[in-house]
Amino acid sequence: MYSTLLSLHSTVAYAALGVLTLAVINAFLGLTSKSLFKSKDRSISLVALMVCHIQLAIGLILYFVTPKLEAWSTLGMKVMADSTLRTVLVEHPFTNILALVCITIGWSKHKKEESNNGKFKKIALFYAIGLVLLLAMIPYKQWLA
C-alpha cells in the first residue's frame, strides 16, 4: 500500500505542478493584459486548487502510513538531527500545507474581488507563493531518481 501511495503521490505531483504553473501564468497574463476574468480563467484556477488539494490528501494519507513515522516514537525530537527524516516528517509536510493554505486563500480572496484586475492579482500572488513553496520542498533526489 505504501509504495502504491508513494507512486500515486509522485504522479499527481506532476499534474499539480503543471496545472498550478498554468494557473499562475494565466493569472499574470490576464493581469498584464488587463483582460476580463472569464469562466476559462476561473476553471483553470479551480482545477489547480482541486488537483493541489487531492495531492495534499494523498500526501497526508502517505504521511501516516510511511514506515519513517516510527522514527518519532523511537528517536523523539532527535528526528530533527537527521536531515532526511526532518525533511520527510517535518519540513516537506509543513511547507506543503502552508503552500495549500496560500492557494486556498488566493481562491477565496479572488471570489470577493469586484474587478477583473483584482481577481487576476489575487490568483497570481497567492498561487505563485504556493507554487514557490511547493517547488522548494520537492525531494528532487528521490523524485527524479
CA distance 118 to 104: 16
Domain boundaries, the chain: 2-143
* pLDDT tens across the length of the chain (145 residues): 888 998 899 899 999 999 999 999 999 999 999 999 999 999 999 999 999 999 999 999 999 888 887 887 788 888 888 888 888 888 999 999 999 999 999 999 999 999 999 999 999 999 999 999 999 998 877 766 6
Give the pLDDT of residue 144: 67
In this structure, which amino acid lies at residue 68?
K
Give the pLDDT of residue 11: 92
Give the pLDDT of residue 134: 96
Give the pLDDT of residue 1: 82
All three cell numbers of 71, joined, read 522514527
Residues in the chain, total: 145
Give the pLDDT of residue 143: 66
Give the pLDDT of residue 25: 97
Cα separation values, 138 from 8, 103, 131, Å: 15, 17, 11
CA distance 138 to 5: 16
CA dihedral sign of residues 46, 119, 124, 99:
negative
Establish how many alpha carbons lie within 13 A of residue 71's alpha carbon, considering only the half-sphere containing its beta carbon: 19
